[in-house]
Structure 1
Amino acid sequence: MPQILIIDDNPAVATALEVLFSLHDIDTMHADSPQAGLQALAAQAFDLAIQDMNFSADTTSGEEGQALFRQIRAAHPDLPVILLTAWTHLGSAVELVKAGAADYIAKPWDDAKLLTTVNNLIELSEARRELEHRRMREQRNRDQLQGRYDLRGAVFADPASERAIALACQVARSELPVLITGANGSGKEKIAEIVQANSQVAHGPYVTLNCGALPAELIEAELFGAEAGAYTGANKAREGKFEAADGGTLFLDEIGNLPPAGQMKLLRVLETGRFERLGSNRERRVKVRLISATNADLPAMIRDGSFREDLYYRLNTVEIALPPLAERPGDILPLAEHFLAAGKPLAASARTALQRHAWPGNVRELRNVIQRAELLAPGDRIEAADLNLPRPAPARPSPAAEPDKVRIEQALARAGGVIAQAAADLGMSRQALYRRMERHGIAPK
């Protein structure tokens, strides 16, 4: 049950508030002086405090209320505080709201308005507390990962990244092939490094090949090697990536670009560990841990006949799906600060702009934006204008755009589960959002 602290020297005011809140399943505690209120706050946790502005007899300046509020704010910076004020010191209350008070209520108050304000603040307080607990759990999980595994300097704070990295660590000791999927620039190479660094062959060779960076006719020779004269320009025998990676790990990026003949040979290597160089009939044998990555839709390529289904299932024994940066908002600022080379800090405006941008180029785009801004920013801080990001599209949908389940869940995720904030993001009232959440079966967090 939510609990409110009422700090007021007038017993009649305290009793009226206690009766009002008890009728709505809100527990209250009364303190009749600033000192008693501060002692109560030090002794236990409250969801909200309601304080008067004057306590001494024949005092109407509001100075006592100002002093009390500032003491509460200093000791409990996240506690919502509502000020009970008479019209004679309304100006003082307004100044305190600017200083961080949640709201002010004039005496005599309107019960309905007061209840609405209190319920909203309690909801926000509970959501903030849950968010803080969740952040602490996530930080513990990250600390455990970093303590147990070599994460290759990965920078992350978002739960989606944490899940992908945890899965990479979990499957690293296995010999099974791993397929990493995700958009260009999302960080698939870093996931591959983590798998390799924590594998049983971590001290063996780590060989990489980007299948999308070579002409189709040369990929086979790169993978399996070639004898002299096997193709035009092959003046001497050459070792392929599989031979170079024997006893270690081979990382094949953009595996969807592998031509059909290469796909067939790769499937055979995965099944038997055997292959022949181009232009040779001599069979060679290797033992290689294979990690592959792609930004392509391999199931769609299977349907149109450009990728072998049997190879897909051999590669996809374990799949690690890395979401784009836009779906890992908790990573944006930590990564941005990681990319700062000269120590020039990000201004608040820059932080806001970074979090609002859609990042179609993912982590790669973020790195380029930060490096350019740090180089060209004229001041001693990086401002939003220095980032040279396009103006964000309006966040609120048009009235005719009914948000679907995905948009509602995304808004809730961005707001950390705070209903009021998510509703504002979607351009609707809290009540309307609750109705749509119930309709789509989305439980409040």
Structure 2
Amino acid sequence: MLKQQAVILLVDDDIAHRTMLKVNLVKEGFMVVELGDGDEVLPFLTANHVDLLLLDLKMTRMDGITTLSTMLQAGYTIPVIVLTAFSSVESAVLAMKRGAFDYITKPVDIEELKLAISRALNFRVLSVENEALKTRLDEKFGFDNIIGSSPAMQEMFATLSMVAPSDGTVLITGESGTGKELIANALHHKSQRKNGPFIKLNCAALHENLLESELFGHEAGSFTGASSRRKGRFELAHRGTLFLDEIGDMSPATQAKVLRVLQDGTFERVGGTETITVDVRLVAATHKNLRAMIDTGEFRQDLFFRLSVVPIHLPPLRERAIDIPELSRHFLNRYSKKNRKDIKGFHPEVFSLLMQYEWPGNIRELENTIERAVILCMGEQITPHELPPQFFSDATIPQRTLDGRSEFTLRDLEREAIKATLSQTGNNKSLTAKKLGIARQTLLNKIKEFGLE
């Protein structure tokens, strides 16, 4: 925080001392506001912005400790530096236990005070940024960010709200692309562990030997290439949440070691003998049928029961078609901003086609479809022309004949869109550019490029 931007509230009933401090702080570029006693602080904070409080401990009407306590009770988290006589250091220590940032003994060394102020203001900036980050994380990973008004999703939201605050192990099942990682994120950020680490690992992405090392860590020399000790994901997730995606791809040997961690919270690193204890909440996910894998001996039944304390099933998109318009608008807004386009919405026929489609790739496929449509769209509305071929039977493919050809390129589409819009607007370039969502100069360049002059 720049000094010129910082507002310091100086509270001291000694006018001469207060004036001396103000003169020195103003010289440093700070804005300094003076108050004569502690009982004036709370009314002032209610109506004014303050970045830092310099607070004398010994005052006539309300001492510094009481002032500090009333501030904290009122919810103020402004950093406070207390000023105290050398003989009252114990009181200053008590003030720090009550929430003060630092203390300075009298007579005040101005250089020491400037250093303390700098540290306090930096702390203030970090605190504000941290709160803003937490807010953004809550918005990004909270349940409100998970879109769905279908009965299946509403039932899932009810389960999530009950499960998130607990430490229960959760097993999320569902087809690929249904949003299992998004649910895991939301569970962590709505839990009591949200200030702890959230560690992720895709079990299908690694060979069995590498997976064991990633999960539990390894000691130096435990295998070729292990030049130093390395912590595993369980250690890194201590006092937080570990999300194991595609746990159905884990080998039976590794399953047994994960089961032990779930039972007693202990394990050894690969190549090590030291037993490590961790406090971790486990959230697992899979697109496989674990019950069927139990019958074939591919998955341990005891691990399955440990994992599925709270089972959550994500329905495929084809079973929640009612959510497709809302999801589509969400992705349209995201990718219109990303691609700097002003696309207002969808042609009604588009929703009809989207809701009839089977969506084998689920929400991930829908997102990719909308992103593609945004990139191809030259107007203010997504039309069936921007959808990929799999959405149409031979009889329903929109006719887009270009100069008698049955095949065309993206360049052809762009030329025809400009040509058609110019015709609609009576060759009005400004209106055409607005309808296509592009700059007028870009339109003029395209007209020249395509020979449409």
Alignment partner, residue 348 of structure 1 = 348
Q: CA–CA distance in 1 between the matches of 2:210 and 2:170?
A: 24
TM norm structure 2: 0.53
The answer on 1:215 being equivalent to 2:207 is yes
Q: Give 1:378 deviation, angstroms.
A: 3.1
Alignment partner, residue 264 of structure 1 = 256
Q: Give 1:348 deviation, angstroms.
A: 1.0
Q: Give 1:385 deviation, angstroms.
A: 2.3
Which of 224, 241, 255 is equivalent to 2:233?
241
The answer on 1:277 being equivalent to 2:269 is yes
Q: Give 1:391 deviation, angstroms.
A: 4.3
Q: Give 1:284 deviation, angstroms.
A: 0.2
Counterpart of 1:349, as a letter, is E
Alignment of 1:300-319 (within 5 A): 300-319=292-311
Task: Give secondary structure in 1 for the equivalent of 2:211.
Answer: helix
Q: CA–CA distance in 2 between the matches of 1:296 and 1:376?
A: 35
Cα RMSD over matched residues? 1.9
How many residues end up aligned between the 2 structures?
248
Deviation string 1:209-251 (CA, Å, 9 cap, x unpaired) is 1111111221111111011122222111111000000001001
Task: Give secondary structure in 1 for the equivalent of 2:267.
Answer: strand
Q: Give 1:192 deviation, angstroms.
A: 1.0
Alignment partner, residue 10 of structure 1 = none
Q: CA–CA distance in 1 between the matches of 2:206 and 2:325?
A: 35
Alignment partner, residue 370 of structure 1 = 370
Task: Give secondary structure in 2 for the equivalent of 1:390.
Answer: helix
Alignment partner, residue 11 of structure 1 = none
Q: Is the 8 A contact 1:373 1:382 kept in 2?
A: yes
TM norm structure 1: 0.54
The answer on 1:182 being equivalent to 2:174 is yes
Alignment partner, residue 390 of structure 1 = 390
Q: Is the 8 A contact 2:354 2:391 kept in 1?
A: no
Could you list the runs of 5+ residues in structure 2 that have no partner in the other structure?
1-137, 337-341, 395-453
Deviation string 1:172-223 (CA, Å, 9 cap, x unpaired) is 1221100000000001111111211111111111111111111122111111
Q: CA–CA distance in 2 between the matches of 1:209 and 1:249?
A: 11
Alignment partner, residue 47 of structure 2 = none
Which of 292, 314, 319 is equivalent to 1:322?
314
Q: Which structure carries more relative contact order (alpha carbon 8 Å, separation 6+)?
A: 1
Alignment of 1:40-439 (within 5 A): 150-151=142-143, 153-340=145-332, 341-342=335-336, 343-344=342-343, 345-391=345-391
Q: 1:163–1:242: structure 2 CA closer, same or farther, 3 Å change rule?
A: same
Q: Give 1:389 deviation, angstroms.
A: 4.4
Q: CA–CA distance in 1 between the matches of 2:318 and 2:393?
A: 14
Q: Give 1:318 deviation, angstroms.
A: 0.8
Q: Give 1:384 deviation, angstroms.
A: 1.3
Q: Is the 8 A contact 1:182 1:321 kept in 2?
A: yes
Q: Give 1:150 deviation, angstroms.
A: 3.3
Q: Give 1:262 deviation, angstroms.
A: 1.1
Q: Is the 8 A contact 1:351 1:384 kept in 2?
A: no
Deviation string 1:12-42 (CA, Å, 9 cap, x unpaired) is xxxxxxxxxxxxxxxxxxxxxxxxxxxxxxx
Task: Provide the identity percentage.
Answer: 45
Task: Give secondary structure in 1 for the equivalent of 2:359.
Answer: coil
Q: Is the 8 A contact 1:152 1:197 kept in 2?
A: no
Q: Give 1:330 deviation, angstroms.
A: 1.8
Could you list the runs of 5+ residues in structure 1 that have no partner in the other structure?
1-145, 395-445
Task: Give secondary structure in 1 for the equivalent of 2:182.
Answer: helix
Q: Is the 8 A contact 1:252 1:293 kept in 2?
A: yes
